[in-house]
C-alpha cells in the first residue's frame, strides 16, 4: 500500500509546486508556455482522480520534463523563500511602526494620574495624517483636539520624545489661574475629586521609586474629561501663569501632574510644531512598576491597567455631569485604595484674648486683712504670690497645615 501512495503523493506535490511557480511567473512564461503547462497540470489532476498507476506515471514524467525545461530557473530554494518571508515581515513591521502604530514607554510621573511610570502606550500615528520621519507630510489629517494626549519630538532637544496633553490650539491665548486652564479669559470646568491621591513616582535617571500624594481634580477641555493632580505641599492659590499666545502651526501642551511636569509653561513658555507630532496616545498596552504583581522585587505587572484606554477610567461628557463623574471616579479610586474621601477642612484654632488687668485682679483670691482677723487669731505673714505663667498661644490653622505639609514632605522624600 505504501508503494502505491508514493507515486500518487509525488505527483500531487509536483502539481502543487508547478502551479505555485506558474502563478508567480505568468509574465515571464508567456501565454504559449503557460498554456502547455496548464494542460499538463490538467492531465496530472485527472490521473490522480482516476487512481490508474500507469496514467499517474505518464503524467508525472510529462510534468517533470516540462518543469525541468521551463520552470527550473524559476524555482526557489527553501532558504531563499524563508529569507524572502523574513524580509517581507521586517518591511511590514517597519511600515506599521512608521505609519500606523508605535509603542512608547512612560519614563516619569509627569502624566500621573492618567499615565503611570512604566506604562507602555500604543500611539496611533495616522490620527493626524501620515508623515515621514522628519515631518514631511504624505497624507494630510485632522488637527489635534484640545484634551487629547499626543506624542511629539521635543522642539528644544533633538531626539527626545515627549508625551503631554493638548491645552491650546493655534490662535488660543492660554492662562493658568491657580493651575486652572483659562482659554481666552474663560475658565474651563474643573471639579475636586479627592483631597489626597497616593501614587508612586519614578526618577528615571536615578532608577528610584518614591511615594507622593496630591489633590486630584477632574477637568474638562475641548469636550474631553481627564484627571489632573496638584501637589499638597505648595501653598494655595498658585501664582498665575501666562498668557501663552499659541502661534500658527503650533500647539500648547501641559502635563497632567501640574507641579511635576516640564511642559509648555517652563523656560518662559514654548510650543510644539505640528510637524513634530508623531501621533495620539490611544491605549495602555502594558504596565510594569510599583504596585504590580511579581514574585520577586518591588516591581511587577499591573494587570488592571493592561489594554486600558487613555482616560478610560473617566466618564466622558454626555454620560454624567461633571460633579457626578468626579464622584464616580472617587469611588473607583477608593476601592483601589489610592484615594480618600474629601474631608472638610478643620476650623483654625484661635488663641484666647488676654484679659484686662482689672479683671485679672478681680479673679485672684482675696486675702484677709490683718485688722479684720479676730484678736485670738495669730497674724501670719502673707506668702509671696508666684507670678502666673504666661499663657502659650494656641497654634493657628495655618501653622497646623504647615506641620502636616512638612510631614507629607518627609514621607514623599
Span 93-142, pLDDT tens digits: 777 777 788 899 999 999 999 999 999 999 998 889 877 776 677 788 88
* 361 band by pLDDT with thresholds 50, 70 and 90: very low
Same domain for 159 and 273? Answer: yes
Specify the number of domains making up the chain: 2
Residue range 25-84, pLDDT digits in tens: 777 778 888 888 888 888 888 888 888 888 888 888 888 888 888 777 766 655 666 777
Here the cell at position 370 is 490683718
Instruction: Let me know if residue 88 belongs to a domain.
Output: no
Report pTM: 0.64
Catalytic (active site) residue 396 = no
Same domain for 48 and 175? Answer: no
- Per-residue pLDDT, 77: 59
Instruction: Let me know if residue 404 belongs to a domain.
Output: no
The active-site residue out of 108, 164, 231, 287 is 164
Q: What is the widest separation between alpha-carbon atoms in the chain?
A: 159
Tell me if residue 313 falls in helix, strand or coil: coil
Same domain for 65 and 102? Answer: no
Here the cell at position 413 is 522624600
Same domain for 103 and 220? Answer: yes
Three-point CA angle 175, 180, 181, nearest 5°: 45
Please say which residue of 28, 44, 75 terminates a domain: 75
Same domain for 112 and 71? Answer: no
Catalytic (active site) residue 164 = yes
Burial (CB count within 10 angstroms: exposed 0-12, middle 13-18, buried 19+), residue 26: exposed
Please say which residue of 288, 310, 340 terminates a domain: 340
Same domain for 206 and 175? Answer: yes
Residue range 364-412, pLDDT digits in tens: 343 444 444 344 334 344 344 444 444 444 433 333 333 333 333 322 2
Here the cell at position 248 is 500658527
List the domain range (segments joined by +) for residue 58: 2-75
The active-site residue out of 108, 110, 231, 287 is 110
β-pair type (190-203, 208-221): antiparallel
Instruction: Let me know if residue 33 belongs to a domain.
Output: yes
Residue range 238-255, pLDDT digits in tens: 889 989 999 999 999 999
Same domain for 25 and 168? Answer: no
Whole-number Å distance between alpha carbons of 164 and 152: 8
Amino acid at each position: 500500500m505504501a508503494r502505491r501512495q508514493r507515486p500518487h503523493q509525488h505527483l500531487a506535490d509536483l502539481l502543487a509546486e508547478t502551479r505555485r511557480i506558474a502563478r508567480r511567473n505568468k509574465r515571464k512564461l508567456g501565454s504559449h508556455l503557460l498554456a502547455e503547462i496548464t494542460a499538463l497540470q490538467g492531465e496530472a489532476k485527472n490521473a490522480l482522480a482516476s487512481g490508474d498507476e500507469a496514467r499517474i506515471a505518464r503524467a508525472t514524467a510529462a510534468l517533470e520534463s516540462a518543469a525541468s525545461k521551463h520552470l527550473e530557473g524559476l524555482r526557489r530554494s527553501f532558504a531563499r523563500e524563508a529569507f524572502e518571508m523574513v524580509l517581507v515581515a521586517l518591511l511590514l513591521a517597519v511600515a506599521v511602526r512608521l505609519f500606523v502604530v508605535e509603542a512608547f514607554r512612560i519614563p516619569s510621573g509627569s502624566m500621573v494620574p492618567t499615565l503611570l511610570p512604566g506604562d507602555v502606550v500604543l500611539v496611533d500615528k495616522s490620527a493626524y495624517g501620515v508623515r515621514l520621519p522628519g515631518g514631511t507630510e504624505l497624507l494630510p489629517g485632522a488637527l489635534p483636539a484640545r484634551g487629547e494626549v499626543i506624542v511629539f519630538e521635543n522642539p528644544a532637544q533633538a531626539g527626545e520624545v515627549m508625551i503631554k496633553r493638548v491645552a491650546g490650539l493655534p490662535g488660543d491665548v492660554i492662562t493658568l489661574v491657580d493651575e486652572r486652564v483659562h482659554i481666552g479669559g474663560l475658565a474651563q470646568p474643573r471639579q475636586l475629586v479627592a483631597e489626597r491621591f497616593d501614587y508612586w513616582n519614578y526618577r528615571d535617571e536615578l532608577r528610584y521609586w518614591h511615594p507622593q500624594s496630591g489633590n486630584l481634580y477632574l477637568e474638562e477641555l475641548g469636550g474631553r474629561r481627564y484627571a489632573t493632580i496638584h501637589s499638597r505641599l505648595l501653598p494655595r492659590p498658585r501664582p498665575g501663569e501666562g498668557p501663552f499666545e499659541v502661534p500658527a502651526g503650533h500647539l500648547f501642551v501641559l502635563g497632567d501632574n501640574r507641579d511635576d511636569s516640564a511642559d509648555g509653561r517652563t523656560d518662559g513658555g514654548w510650543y510644539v510644531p505640528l510637524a513634530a507630532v508623531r501621533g495620539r496616545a490611544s491605549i495602555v498596552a502594558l504596565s510594569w512598576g510599583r504596585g504590580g504583581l511579581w514574585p520577586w522585587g518591588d516591581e511587577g505587572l499591573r494587570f488592571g491597567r493592561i489594554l486600558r484606554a487613555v482616560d478610560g477610567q473617566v466618564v466622558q461628557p454626555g454620560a454624567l455631569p461633571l460633579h457626578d463623574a468626579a464622584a464616580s471616579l472617587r469611588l473607583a479610586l477608593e476601592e483601589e485604595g489610592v484615594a480618600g474621601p474629601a474631608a472638610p477642612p478643620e476650623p483654625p484654632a484661635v488663641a484666647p484674648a488676654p484679659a484686662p488687668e482689672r479683671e485679672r485682679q478681680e479673679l485672684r483670691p482675696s486675702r484677709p486683712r490683718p485688722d479684720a482677723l479676730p484678736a485670738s487669731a495669730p497674724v501670719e505673714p502673707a506668702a509671696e504670690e508666684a507670678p502666673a505663667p504666661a499663657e502659650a498661644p494656641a497654634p493657628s490653622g495655618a501653622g497646623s497645615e504647615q506641620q502636616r505639609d512638612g510631614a507629607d514632605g518627609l514621607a514623599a522624600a
